[in-house]
Amino acid sequence: MLERVIGILREYSEAEEITRDSVLVSDLGLTSFDVISIVAAFEEEFDIEVPDRAIMDFVTVGDIVTYLEEQA
C-alpha cells in the first residue's frame, strides 16, 4: 500500500525522498489544491470515496496509508 501511495505522490511532488513520515505540505511542498487532486487520484486508484472530513486528517504520508488500509 505504501509503495502505491508514494507512486501517486511522486506525480505531484518533486521531493527526492518520500517516506511514511513525510509531511505533505512542508516536506513534499504540496498545496491544499494538490492534496485535493491527490485524494481524487487515490479515490480512482483504490475505488473508494474519501469524505472531506477525512482529508483534513491527512498530514503525513502515513496518515493516508493508514486511512486507505482501514478502508480495504
Task: Assign residue 20 the CATH number of its domain.
Answer: 1.10.1200.10
Total structural domains within the chain: 1
**What rounded mean pLDDT belongs to the chain?**
95
Residue 47's pLDDT is 94
Give the structural domain span for 23.
2-71
Q: How far apart are CA 68 and CA 63, in angstroms?
A: 9
Supply φ then ψ for residue 2, to 5 degrees.
-55, -45
pLDDT digits (tens, 9 = 90+) for 45-58: 999 999 999 999 99
pLDDT digits (tens, 9 = 90+) for 22-34: 999 999 999 989 9
User: Is the pTM for the entire model greater than 0.95?
Assistant: no
72 band by pLDDT with thresholds 50, 70 and 90: confident
